[in-house]
Structure 1
Amino acid sequence: MFKMISFEKLLREYKLSLKVTADFMKAYLEILESPEEIESKSDFPSFDEIMEFLSDNEISYGIIESSIKDMQTKRISQTSILIAEGIKPENGEDGYISFTHRVKSSISLNQDEKGNINFKELNWFIEVKEGEVLARKVNPTEGLSGKNIKNQEIEAVKGKEAVFKYGKNVQESDEHDTLIASKSGRLEYEGDKIQINEVLTIKGSVDTSTGNIRFSGDVNIQGDIKTGFEVECLGSLEVMGVIEASNVHVGKDLVVKGGIQGNARSKVEVGGKLICRFIENAMVYTKGDIITDFIVHSNVSCGENLTVKGKKGLIVGGEIRVKNEISAQVIGSYMGTKTSLEVGLDPADKTKLETYKEELDSYQRKTREIHPNIETGKQMLQRGLMDNVRRVSFIKMLEEYNKILQSTNMVELEIQKIERTLIEAKTGVLKIKEKIYPGTKISIGRHTRFIKDEIGNCTMFIDNNDITVRKG
């Protein structure tokens, strides 16, 4: 309760009593009558007299004239009436931080047009790119000043400025008004700080609890990658368990403490090297080395060297393509399991060669289909039997035909280039520590050899334009 300040003035048989709050924000007027009864109403304080009394006491703002006139015309006395009120200042609003992404990680379910939910795409973590804006600072407001009844300005209190709180891989802009990601990675909130972790850690398996994983940095999975789920990362991937029949794409290296257990519909692609316990019934493609304990009934493409060692050191079944060198304990099996090994040519080139040949077949088929129509059109054009509409259609067909011929020539040149590399390949080496069984097909460069009899410890390579076996 504010302390009141009092002002009084005798005016004939009346006393004007003014009470003002100590902050000069409100003023109350009470007109007190003398004990004697007054017959003449004209003696009641006039509006001008009251206004003069207020002016004498420095009351000049926020005067409620309607209340004063009401008191005067109705001869209201013995009652305290609010006759002046100032305007309180409106303090400024505090500044705050506006985040560009949701603050807390949560599962977000995606529905297709039919309302079906894909439970493999849960989007439970937030990934950001280097240079991306993470948060913006919203400035505090100044507020609106007020006035007291003495017409004195009362300054508003400006809102407090917000403060950025951030951790690793996050920085302020030069203007200090935004937070920016200095590295790509997972957006996290550590306490009240925003930060970016370049490693995504899955504390368990990739399954229905996580959905598919797509991340631009490194990923550490402390369990398995379950059948049917996908993992894509631009960095390296470490899996503490097993990769089941899943599609996995790794930008750098892949380490699997367990092994890779695939099927005909799943694929593991690695931009660097692969280290794992085993590869079984899987399709695996790497640009770098592969080091594993055994490979069984798998299609493996290795861009550098393949080393199969350990207790088993076995390659049996499937097709293995390696650019430089294959080193294994045992190849094939005593049951004559069909096993194919190719070494000496970059598997990526071999894949390109197969793709180019498929394209060439397609172009040649189109050429055979269009060629009769081209010849017919030429004859009609020579005889003057072609109207303008047919002429336009014929010209378009001729342009398409010429494009197909150009594409055919380009593909043929690429095929020749790769085949020349294949013919000249002489660097591939195959090393067998224990034995290689019949039923195995060995290709080094353009040369092929079928193993008909069991061979012990040996090395195979190109010499004198043929595959040479050097024992021991």
Structure 2
Amino acid sequence: MSLIFSATTLERCLEKASNELKVPKECLEYTIITQKNTFFKKKVEIEISEVNEKDNLISDKELSNKEQEAHKGIKVKDGEIIIENLDYESNETAIIHPCNGIKLLINGEECISKTAVTALDNIEVEYVTKESSRKIDITTSEDKMEAYITINYFPECSFELVDKLCCRELKLETKKKKVAYPPKYTYDEILIILRENNIVYGLLNDKIKEISEKQGVDRELIAQGDKVIEDIPDTVKVFFESDKKKTLKDENAKIDYRNMYSISNISSGEVLAEKIEGVQGKDGKNIFGNEIKKKTAKKINIKIGSGCKLEENKVISTIEGRPSCKSGVYSVNKTYELKDVDIKTGNVDFIGDVEISGSIKSGTQVKAGNSVTVRKNVEEATIIASGQVSISANVLNSKISAGANDIDKKKHLEILKQYDSIIESLISYTQQIKEKNVLGNNQSDGEIIKILIESKFKSIPRLSMLIVSFEKNNSSTDNDMINFIRKKIMGLGPIKIKKYSELYELKNMLINEIEILEEEIVIPVDVYMDYAQDSTIEASGSVFITGKGQYVSKITALNNIEFTQTGAVCRGGILHAKDEIKLKTIGSIAGVLTRVEVSKKGCITADIAYQNTVFCFGEKQITLDVASKNVKAYLGKDGMIVVDKFLL
């Protein structure tokens, strides 16, 4: 039987025949009986003469196999995982991959990685729902003056599986089904949380309200304390040059020590100084409500001495003279000028400044309430000045003392500090002996203290005598500290001590005396000279030797000793300074004994140092055994003297 099919193209004819006959196009045998291809009309007619049944049978089977194979595997439909057409007898498998948002269970066990499944496996899905949450974090600054807030909101969300066509390897995917944010922290809730964190002061309420309306914030400032406003202290503006202000320089840019001590004179009615009132500050408060106290600045009370008056915080000169300030006391001193001091003029004792254009001759003494200036030599004479001493030439076989009263007080202060330290050690040793019962139960505290003084603290009697003598010379013999030392420390006094704790009373009195004395000590004053020989020089400040140097003199400075001229020689004698001694050349080729002393924290330097020079640091000393250059001596960290040097 033949059938005729027509269409606009051959391909469409074959498709039409294939669909009606239910036979694949490849199985059709046909003949084209008509084919028209005009501009207006296209037509093709074919005649199906025979259908290849065998091929059709095979093709149907292949098609069926292909279709069946295409529908083998695993798929997702409407949120359900379905296994299709897997042959359980041959144990056919498909691969499944888990994903986020679900809990994949295969035969009741959770699957966390790709897994092969068969038609017999039971696959279940549990959907993960993330609950909404919110988090608030309060942090504070180190100084407790600022608080910061961080808020994060995490939404609730659920998931559903995305539909997937059947395949042999299924990669599961999810999509968010529902998103819901938690409620925002309210203004009141934030305040409660701040109170729970003890943050109660300096809250920025407007800022907190603004934050409560936002969908999260990161480290926003919400509280700020009041910072301390420190007092601005009183200041004094000085209108004259002090002893050390005027510093001239020579052509080589070296300090001109000869002119360093130039001082200006002022006329009557001139302003010496003016106090500028400070400004009172304000206490602060941190975010926890704790007050922070400001440091109270000391008020300056201007004190005036002779030659001036105080008007509305201004110090005004009432005479013509030389202004000065010592221990905060402003004064104007008249200047006593003379050519020479000798037997004809007699000794000089003047309350102000003394200027001598010539020399001070043998057997005379100059005593000044302030500075002394000598343009020429000082020969076998004595100068005692409360202020600076400046000698442009030589000091020969004489005694110079600058700030004499200050030197005594400073020495006494050092003794008191040493005494205080020893008393503290005495208390500690007594306590240890009693606790360990070293001397038995028959010894009283006083007897133990007496034994320790006689055996270990042998310097106590000598220091006690020095303290009592100083107080006696200063008409201070009737005070509690001196009475205690006399009655319970000196001689057989310790036996009268019933309890060693009585020594704490002495220690407190010593501390009080030290504090008072430190306040009374005047600003250090210096001595300047060109050369010294066979003389004794003392200064409460520093000693500057600006010329050739010194020979077999005893020089004491409570600050520094410095030789300023290149090639200056220090030969023989004893030099003692608290801080630093700067030398050019010390000693001689012949090995003249020369001793230089500083405190334990001091330092000694020399361009050249010859053998037999003794360096002392406190109680320790070392003698240089070979001539050296570029010498620097000091105490090392181990407490031993270190001498850095190069051989000469």
TM-score bracket for this pair, using the shorter chain length: 0.3 to 0.5
**TM-score calculated relative to the size of structure 2:** 0.30
